Amino acid sequence: MNILILGSGGREHALAWKIAASPLTTKLYCAPGNAGIAQEAECVALDIADHQAVIAFCKDAKIDFVVVGPEVPLVAGIVDDLEAAGIKTFGPTKWAARLEGSKGFTKDLCKANNIPTAAYERFKSGDLAKDYVRKRGAPIVVKADGLAAGKGVVVAATVEEAEAAIDMMFSGGLGDKAWEIVIEDCLVGEEASFFALCDGDTALPLASAQDHKRVFDGDKGPNTGGMGAYTPAPIMTEAMNKRVMDEIVIPTVQALKKAGAPFKGVLFAGLMITKDGPQLIEYNVRFGDPETQVIMLRMMSDLLPALIAARDGQLKHFDLRWYPDAALTVVMAAKGYPGSYKKGTVINGLDQAAQLDGVEIFHAGTRSDNGSIVANGGRVLNVCARGKTVAEAQARAYAAVDKIDWQDGFCRRDIGWQAIAREQNRR
């Protein structure tokens, strides 16, 4: 089969690495891709926001199956457009992608189906939102309704902070003016991510993971797109995975089926594991980045037939096999990230690093420049490793980081600390 992956990050490199290894793959393309993806696939300089250009390429290159990485094209309806043109595509329709595209939509769906999530209200006016915040008290969480590239959530410790967040969102502080916000109670517990493939009716659990969103060691500093991750999340025991499937994922898939807009693709549940059990923080309708990089390392089975089965409504009898190991990734970012940073700085030592036992390096913001790999974004590399424990995976990943010679890059030194502390307590 001829396969096209859409996207250019570490997530897409991991998907390309896995799909390139499938015996079903004849030719793999990625648009627009990056320097690492170019080792697995032919990169095509397409603007993936231009759906007609993507369709034209698919027809030209006789693409049999498209895998969409990021949320923006999903929420913009690229799956609907490709499918309407007769091109089989992995991912949810525009309607179903509202699970990520509108927080209010998801909260209402949860309420109507008794899916555990924080108590909330939706607001279109700052004054009413502030009245609610004053009545409810702090801490409290203020969220823009639509996509905000990870910047649309403020966990406010005080009422004043919440009021400032409301003003910021309604006055265009996130770029576009928010036209609706959600205010919800603050949940207390440990966060985890959970991934399931869905075919509109059946949901097949993939794996759990945890990521580190803050830029500095000790989970300090501003939020980022993610500085590292590991899988599985030790807090996600078999029993907890089952509760998440029964109480959150399956009711969601069934609710969307009943509404006549079945969800096909990967459902990524952001969870808070509270003392009363799992609560949904939010849904994403795509693979996580950097969680996918580590989940792919643990997947023994061929990914491609599972993605096709999700698209075709055939997951019911599907099974996936996994390595029992843990996997961990350390993100290397350009100095200054998540603020301003330099592009074009040279990275050496990648081949030596990738030769270490259990190590795999996935590229995010990189490009080739006269035979060198240069940084081309904020988050630049995912240095990943498998190990028998999270501690072993961590040691291997940092051994690889230390072989990489990139003066203008940095990484956190404590990825996995929470899981490793749990492993040590168990001994």
List contacts with ligand AMP (CB under 6 A).
118, 141, 150, 153, 155, 184, 186-187, 191, 270, 281-282
Burial 89-113 (b: 16+ CB within 10 A, else e): bbbbbbbbbbbbbbbbbbbebbeee
Greatest extent of the chain over all pairs of C-alpha atoms, in Å: 61
Closer to ligand AMP by Cβ: residue 282 or 360? 282
Q: How far is the CB of 270 from ligand AMP (least distance, A)?
A: 5
Q: How far is the CB of 122 from ligand AMP (least distance, A)?
A: 14
Specify whether the CB–CB gap between 328 and 217 falls below 8 A. Answer: no
Q: How far is the CB of 195 from ligand GLY (least distance, A)?
A: 10
What DSSP designation does 38 have?
G
User: Taking CB under 6 A as the criterion, which residues in 279-298 touch ligand GLY?
Assistant: 284, 288-289, 291
Closest CA to 64 of 6, 5, 2: 2
List the single partner that 325 binds among ligand GLY, ligand AMP, none, CB under 5 to 8 Å by kind: none
Closer to ligand GLY by Cβ: residue 87 or 267? 267
Q: How far is the CB of 295 from ligand AMP (least distance, A)?
A: 18
What DSSP designation does 247 have?
I
Whether the bond into 338 is cis, omega within 30 of 0 = yes
Question: How far apart are the C-alpha atoms of 281 and 110, rounded to whole Å?
Answer: 11
Closer to ligand AMP by Cβ: residue 148 or 356? 148
Closer to ligand GLY by Cβ: residue 25 or 193? 193
Question: How far apart are the C-alpha atoms of 170 and 162, rounded to whole Å?
Answer: 12
List the single partner that 360 binds among ligand AMP, ligand GLY, none, CB under 5 to 8 Å by kind: none
List the single partner that 175 binds among ligand AMP, ligand GLY, none, CB under 5 to 8 Å by kind: none
Closer to ligand GLY by Cβ: residue 90 or 123? 90
Q: How far is the CB of 1 from ligand GLY (least distance, A)?
A: 27
Residues binding ligand GLY: what is the number (CB under 6 A)?
Answer: 6
CA 296 to chain CA centroid, nearest Å: 13
The answer to whether residue 226 forms part of the interface with ligand GLY (CB under 6 A) is yes
Q: By Cβ distance, which residue is nearest to ligand GLY?
A: 288
The answer to whether residue 180 forms part of the interface with ligand GLY (CB under 6 A) is no
Question: How far apart are the C-alpha atoms of 415 and 42, rounded to whole Å?
Answer: 32
Residue 64: burial class (beta carbons within 10 Å; 0-12, 13-18, 19+): middle
Name the 3-class secondary structure at 408: coil
Closest CA to 106 of 263, 219, 222: 263
Closer to ligand AMP by Cβ: residue 165 or 310? 165
Pairing assessment for the beta strands 89-90 and 65-68 based on DSSP bridges? parallel
Closer to ligand AMP by Cβ: residue 53 or 186? 186
Q: How far is the CB of 159 from ligand GLY (least distance, A)?
A: 28
Closer to ligand GLY by Cβ: residue 151 or 258? 151
* The CA-based dihedral angle spanning residues 117, 122, 127, 128, taken in that order and rounded to the nearest 10 degrees: -80
Pairing assessment for the beta strands 409-410 and 326-334 based on DSSP bridges? antiparallel
Closer to ligand AMP by Cβ: residue 101 or 409? 101
Q: How far is the CB of 130 from ligand GLY (least distance, A)?
A: 29
Closer to ligand GLY by Cβ: residue 72 or 374? 72
List the single partner that 289 binds among ligand GLY, ligand AMP, none, CB under 5 to 8 Å by kind: ligand GLY
Q: How far is the CB of 150 from ligand AMP (least distance, A)?
A: 6
Question: How far apart are the C-alpha atoms of 160 and 154, rounded to whole Å?
Answer: 12
List the single partner that 291 binds among ligand AMP, ligand GLY, none, CB under 5 to 8 Å by kind: ligand GLY
Query: Tokens for 305?
Result: 């037939």
The answer to whether residue 100 forms part of the interface with ligand GLY (CB under 6 A) is no
Question: How far apart are the C-alpha atoms of 177 and 309, rounded to whole Å?
Answer: 39
What phi and psi, each to the nearest 5 degrees, are found at residue 146?
-95, -175
H-helix segments, 286-356: 291-298, 303-312, 350-354
Q: How far is the CB of 45 from ligand AMP (least distance, A)?
A: 31
Q: Can you give the binding site for ligand GLY, defined by CB under 6 A?
A: 211, 226, 284, 288-289, 291
